[in-house]
Structure 1
């Protein structure tokens, strides 16, 4: 039985994976941070389904329902770019607590019956905007909480739990919204934020701010920060892959219709990606050492789009789910390695800012990718549109992969050398 071929069914493999995950879970602060993020992600996806149902019920407009969902995503891009520096100028734990408390209050107001639609949309936008600095503080603090040798495994476990939360939030959101009410989902989301804030206060150590001094302009030094070395360029370029790989999620409904499947298959197609990411990251968790991620990153980057190409000629529903899940598995692995390496390659005084900007670009890329996939899906069949974007993803992967190999040639594996590189003089102030 080969390690790569049938590793998932190997009891020894499963035991080693559980031991690795158990090791990082012994870290009290990591447990607190990953549990609060899991709660927040679950609540967010519950509220997205609830908002879609609530707006559509009140207006009867699919366009306005889609607009409400867009408001849960797009303002986060601006928040990450404009406010991510807060995670460096203030204690990162304090930033996370403050954002959770404010978002708990905002979502609670959103659940008030009869709230004007314009005010509802405004509250959604503000809540989304605040996810930018929260994500920056969270990702930067994880690098402080976990030792360098456990960071890859921790990020893999974090990704698995996040995808699992998305899966449950999407699956249960519709059921709760119909069985109870959309407002009940919003109240539950508000409670998850409040509980997350309490857990962080009591379980995460308060560290001093990474950087003091006056605030920098949002755009000052951004280019040098994310583009200063080949390793940073590789990780940052990988955040653009959502332009192509978001296609299956965006085209789930027309893809199901094109295959002659009932509407319930739309949820299966959406969930296939999350399921693939969970399985892929579980496997990667066993091979999370920096010495392996040196070659895994370019392989995963190139392989993420390849399964999507096959969708152009596949009509069997189960095969469609498998191909989408396989592509998402490679995408998730690439993302974990990129995020882990990028966090280590950034100077601590600007790690929050850098991670916030990268997260914003990733979110924007997926949003624009979903829009592009929709336009392309109207011009050609959904399956062919996904396949075309799969080809584009495979070609684009040559850019981050090339920079990764360049970084490996210059300084060794970026994932392995990240702590040492981060200790060198920063390219920016």
Structure 2
């Protein structure tokens, strides 16, 4: 708890970044839930609703890796300020949406927001290590992961209410306001990086070639050593599993547990509650443990709890264990995220961190889409439970591999190398 208090009370810049992220993420969830409701209300089409998912994922796959090049070239704080301001402006076209004839405006807005997010996320993950002490990094990453669960819980609840009260215009204005508040908080961050000396390219073609060279260099960094290769393989394997989970969890609740829409919503929300508690625990005690061990053990326990949840309907017809499992999985999930993010940040230097995170997010996006597609086919062919079991096994196997490669994931301290 002492380390948690030190990070929140003494690291002013980190506190501002954390608060900005929480506020803007809450706005994102408000809009996301409201948009899903509004699009279906306008069109009555599940295909139209699925278009929102495509519009949000496409930039992650296409732009994510390249965006990291610019994140490494630009001031991360200014990048985050600009993207928040741009987010607020691109929401304004939603004010003109009245019926299904203007549904294309919603897709364009979601597409534009996702493009901006590809610059914001790597910038945020690259900035965090510069705002806290090295020993506080695990705690900071645990708190970061917790904000998404808090935002999800609050924003999802508000999104449906605001959609019913004021429709799409109110959703757009509220989300825009959260971005402007987040931007104001980021302006207050005092950290200033050393000026980056970039070689002048001398024209458009040389500039493009320079960006291409930096992009290729970033990809080489991502696969240039066994530690980073392990990071990416873990992300690909678990990303496919998460795609399968997102596709098949609603059918799992309905067909295997006998639950209705309300049960599905409550079970899904309970994961956010577990994530909040788990994030607090990880933030409070995480600094006492090896980041790689947190990642490995977190993944193994996360996978085992998922396996228990997916398999118990074979022997027991009840919804209660699903609620318990979704709450319990929050603790190892928080350890997994905090540990893996800390390992990645320590394996990379500030000059390349944006490219690494951009490439990692893009790779996970591709894996997620593969998982969605494969689960949609195999769910009908081999059944829902067998596919979901593979998801749990992926985390268990990935965690075991991480624990077996601790030496490459956590290089020995400098003191240990001196005679």
Instruction: Sort the TM-score into its range (normalised by shorter chain).
Output: 0.7 to 0.9
**CA distance 1:364–1:223, change in 2 (3 Å):** same
- Deviation at 1:303? 2.4
CA distance in structure 1 between the partners assigned to 2:228 and 2:196 by the alignment: 20
**CA distance 1:211–1:145, change in 2 (3 Å):** farther
The two structures have a TM-score, normalised by structure 2, of 0.86
Gaps of 5+ in 1: 1-16, 422-429
Asked if 1:21 is matched to 2:16, the reply is no
1:254 is aligned to: 251
**CA distance 1:420–1:341, change in 2 (3 Å):** farther
- Deviation at 1:398? 4.1
Match among 84, 87, 93 for residue 109 of structure 1: 93
| Between 287-296 and 144-153, the greater mean CA deviation after superposition | 287-296
- Deviation at 1:290? 6.2
1:9 is aligned to: none
2:227 is aligned to: 231
**Equivalences, count:** 398
Asked if 1:348 is matched to 2:350, the reply is yes
| Between 221-230 and 48-57, the greater mean CA deviation after superposition | 221-230
- Deviation at 1:390? 1.4
**CA distance 1:420–1:317, change in 2 (3 Å):** farther
1:257-406 matches, within 5 Å, as 257-258=254-255, 259-289=257-287, 291-310=289-308, 311-314=310-313, 315-406=317-408
Deviations 1:369-414 (A, max 9, x none): 3443333333344344322321233234444444434445xx33xx
2:205 is aligned to: none
Deviations 1:169-211 (A, max 9, x none): 2222122212331331222111111111121112343334556
CA distance in structure 2 between the partners assigned to 1:247 and 1:122 by the alignment: 26
CA distance in structure 1 between the partners assigned to 2:408 and 2:198 by the alignment: 34
Asked if 1:32 is matched to 2:30, the reply is no
1:88-103 matches, within 5 Å, as 88-103=72-87
Secondary structure of the residue aligned to 1:283 is helix
**CA distance 1:191–1:225, change in 2 (3 Å):** same
Q: Is the 8 A contact 2:66 2:355 kept in 1?
A: no
CA distance in structure 2 between the partners assigned to 1:204 and 1:111 by the alignment: 35
Match among 49, 53, 67 for residue 51 of structure 2: 67
Deviations 1:306-343 (A, max 9, x none): 22222222332121122234345323321221111211
Gaps of 5+ in 2: 202-209
CA distance in structure 2 between the partners assigned to 1:66 and 1:367 by the alignment: 13
1:3 is aligned to: none
| Between 104-113 and 360-369, the greater mean CA deviation after superposition | 360-369
Q: Is the 8 A contact 2:239 2:368 kept in 1?
A: yes
**CA distance 1:407–1:199, change in 2 (3 Å):** closer
Deviations 1:41-86 (A, max 9, x none): 1111111112212222222211111211332233233332121121
2:207 is aligned to: none
Query: Larger % of helix: which?
Result: 2
1:130 is aligned to: 116
- Deviation at 1:356? 1.9
The two structures have a TM-score, normalised by structure 1, of 0.84
**CA distance 1:236–1:325, change in 2 (3 Å):** farther
CA distance in structure 1 between the partners assigned to 2:295 and 2:386 by the alignment: 27
Q: Is the 8 A contact 2:293 2:403 kept in 1?
A: no
Deviations 1:226-254 (A, max 9, x none): 23333333333332212214544433321
